[in-house]
Chains A and B, each alone.
Chain A
Amino acid sequence: MNEMTIGRLLRSSTIGYVFGCSVPEPEVPLFGMFVKAPAQRGQTETIGLIYNIAIEDDPFVRQMVATPDLPEAYIQDQRLNRQVPIEVSVLAVGYRNGDRFVQALPPQPPITLDRISSCSDAEVCLFTERLDYVRLIINAPDAPADELIAAALLRAAECRPPEERPRFLREAGKELARLLSRDLPRLENLLRRIKPS
């Protein structure tokens, strides 16, 4: 997937951030997508994984929900014109410093209104050459960890040429086996989810 701007930052901390965007396109943002945001005045880029996409309501929308046969123009007005941003939560899983990717929490989070972009296929491939970031997901307090691990690994596999995908997913399975050796039901579920077809 090619890089594209998908929103701007609303709030952040070292372990993650929330960005806002307008009506979602069919392909962005997606659960488990790798995204990046500038930090330290452009010296670094934080790499994160989308783990929640929340669409907020307000009393006006709640009132309209009950309207029978709601014409499309009202729906489009609420979706496109009213400024209620969709909130997208991101878990920080690493950062880029020059050409070097680091799979650890970033030294500084992005700041308000920073531009959030999706990572290109090449960036996802480079970042996921190592799988240390999986531990960060397992330890994340708020993210649905297993679902996020599976989605992120499958997305990382998709970014690779078809002939490389089975090997990548087998390596990922081995890493999961190391990390979850004491939780076999959880491991089994995850392995089933990422099993190469």
Chain B
Amino acid sequence: MALELNKLTSSVDALGASAARRLADLNERLPAAEAMLKTIRADDAELQKKIATARKYRWAGAIPTDEPVDAVFPAPPHPTRANIIAADGSQIYPDRHGIALYFLINIGSIIFRHGLDEAPGTSSTPQVFYEDDELYYAEESSPINGEMVNAMRDVRELGELARLAEAEAQIVPTVTLLDNGLLMYITLREQNSKFSDEIIKEYLEHLGTLRKSGAAPAGVVDRPRAANVVRLLNLAKMELSEIGQDTLKGVGPFHGVTDAMVFGFLRPGERSAVFVNASPDNDLYYEPGGHTIYFFYLNAGRPGKDALLRIEVPQWIATDKTKLDLVHTAIVEQCRVSDGFPYVLMRAHELAVVTVNERREFEQMVIGSLIRRGLTPGISQKAQGKQWTGTGKKRYPK
């Protein structure tokens, strides 16, 4: 055993104590945040000035809409018939130590026809990428990395939803769900600007297709750690003259508090007010096409077991009361069956996931293909070493 657990006992004890201390600290800060939320008025001219000033400094807070920031909305009635479509993706990352350079993306999707007594339609669509122009991206000529694969997977997830919505959303109210926020984040953008631009362009095209289809797309984030609303609370607390690059870096007296904690007062089925995500990416990429991303929080749990989700929707859903209600009630109904997270997203994940055994079997298929063409596939010596040693040492008894 490489990890000598006996050397970690004191650290693990300290870890537990630290977590308890942090929670106690947060519980002391939370009432102030909750009280601050109640004081904020969206039409407050002073607050609007503060928001406008903060946005000059790439402030990633929450912008209130015409809904009071501390408003609570119970789940609307669920329509008798609705389609709930979900897509999720899984991948095998490129491995330069592996038998061949390739990567794989598998997209699982499900069309759940609420109100019909029939089994949902399901599909699983794998695609393997192995050509040079897929493996080496453009200007840097370096192999595609895991983050790029993730971005490609995200685009394909949304593309699958758009494809299915075009066929399904014409007649019946349709919600399409992603297991992620709708605002794509691609880090290291500076190094991969062409790639990022193309990915976001394609992503926005899919959002456009969804809009035309009449479907209501939403991104679902479980256990959200975001603090956009907390940043708003901190901003509201500041004087206009205090606002600057340095003062906007943290969240001042609300350090460690998350939006989910602030909206802990939501009861099962209730949602919060809708906010605009003030992320600079939202302005740069999403706003020009009318796809500005909004969000709200939703307690998708049941009495005795809260389950706070962050739901992201594009502007054309956030400002359409009927469709916003549809998203709200559809997610609540889906979560009723699977105890706090939409059933269709659990199933889409199940349809997409590439298990360790499946990956092994796929590698055997690749090895077979290479051998049939007279090649002698092999993994790197480093990877071989990991295989030799990774199964755990066996010590002879002393």
Complex Cα distance, B343 from A76, in Å, reads 13
Whether the pair A76, B346 counts as a contact (CB closer than 8 A) is no
Query: Given the interface contacts A67-B336, A67-B337, does A74 sit within 8 Å of B343 by beta carbon?
Result: yes
Complex Cα distance, B347 from A71, in Å, reads 16
Neighbouring A residues of B113 by C-beta, 8 Å: 73
Whether the pair A73, B112 counts as a contact (CB closer than 8 A) is yes
Whether the pair B338, A81 counts as a contact (CB closer than 8 A) is no
A77 at the interface (CB under 8 A from B): yes
Neighbouring A residues of B343 by C-beta, 8 Å: 74
Neighbouring A residues of B112 by C-beta, 8 Å: 73, 77
Query: Given the interface contacts A60-B346, A77-B347, does A71 sit within 8 Å of B118 by beta carbon?
Result: no
Whether the pair B122, A64 counts as a contact (CB closer than 8 A) is no
Number of residues in A with C-beta < 8 Å to the partner?
15
A142 at the interface (CB under 8 A from B): no
Whether the pair A70, B117 counts as a contact (CB closer than 8 A) is no
A80 at the interface (CB under 8 A from B): yes
Whether the pair A73, B117 counts as a contact (CB closer than 8 A) is yes
B116 at the interface (CB under 8 A from A): yes
B-facing residues in A40-95 (Cβ within 8 Å) = 60, 63-64, 67, 70-74, 76-77, 79-82
How many A-B pairs with Cβ below 8 Å?
Answer: 44
B120 at the interface (CB under 8 A from A): yes
Complex Cα distance, B338 from A67, in Å, reads 8
Residue of A nearest to B333 (CB): A71
Complex Cα distance, B111 from A81, in Å, reads 12
Complex Cα distance, B110 from A67, in Å, reads 21
Shortest beta-carbon distance, A44 to chain B, in Å? 31
* The one of B114, B119, B337, B347 that contacts A76, using a Cβ cutoff of 8 Å: B119
Whether the pair A81, B122 counts as a contact (CB closer than 8 A) is yes
Shortest beta-carbon distance, A84 to chain B, in Å? 11
Neighbouring B residues of A80 by C-beta, 8 Å: 119
Contact with B along A20-38 (1 / 0, CB 8 A): 0000000000000000000
B339 at the interface (CB under 8 A from A): yes
Whether the pair A79, B337 counts as a contact (CB closer than 8 A) is no
Shortest beta-carbon distance, B352 to chain A, in Å? 14
Complex Cα distance, B118 from A79, in Å, reads 11
Complex Cα distance, B337 from A63, in Å, reads 8
Shortest beta-carbon distance, B356 to chain A, in Å? 17
Neighbouring B residues of A73 by C-beta, 8 Å: 112-120
Most chain B CB atoms below 10 A, which of A67, A74, A80: A74
Complex Cα distance, B116 from A51, in Å, reads 36
Complex Cα distance, B120 from A80, in Å, reads 9
Contact with B along A114-137 (1 / 0, CB 8 A): 000000000000000000000000
Neighbouring A residues of B339 by C-beta, 8 Å: 63
* The one of A60, A67, A76 that contacts B118, using a Cβ cutoff of 8 Å: A76
* The one of A60, A70, A71 that contacts B114, using a Cβ cutoff of 8 Å: A71
Residue of A nearest to B338 (CB): A63
Complex Cα distance, B337 from A82, in Å, reads 16
Complex Cα distance, B113 from A81, in Å, reads 14
A-facing residues in B23-66 (Cβ within 8 Å) = none
Complex Cα distance, B122 from A60, in Å, reads 17
Residue of A nearest to B336 (CB): A67
Neighbouring B residues of A77 by C-beta, 8 Å: 110, 112, 119-120, 122, 347
A-facing residues in B98-124 (Cβ within 8 Å) = 110, 112-120, 122
Whether the pair B122, A74 counts as a contact (CB closer than 8 A) is no
Neighbouring B residues of A74 by C-beta, 8 Å: 337, 343
Whether the pair B338, A64 counts as a contact (CB closer than 8 A) is yes
Shortest beta-carbon distance, B110 to chain A, in Å? 8
Neighbouring A residues of B110 by C-beta, 8 Å: 77
Neighbouring A residues of B122 by C-beta, 8 Å: 77, 81
Neighbouring A residues of B115 by C-beta, 8 Å: 71, 73
Residue of A nearest to B351 (CB): A81
Complex Cα distance, B347 from A82, in Å, reads 9
Whether the pair B120, A70 counts as a contact (CB closer than 8 A) is no
Using CB atoms and an 8 Å cutoff, list the residues of chain A in contact with chain B: 60, 63-64, 67, 70-74, 76-77, 79-82
8 contacts between A and B (CB under 8 A): A63-B339, A70-B337, A73-B114, A73-B117, A76-B118, A77-B119, A77-B120, A79-B119
List 12 other contacts, CB 8 Å, given A60-B346, A74-B337: A63-B338, A67-B337, A71-B115, A71-B337, A72-B117, A73-B112, A73-B118, A73-B120, A74-B343, A77-B122, A79-B119, A82-B350
7 shortest A-B CB distances, which residue pairs?
A76-B119, A72-B117, A80-B119, A77-B120, A81-B122, A67-B337, A77-B119
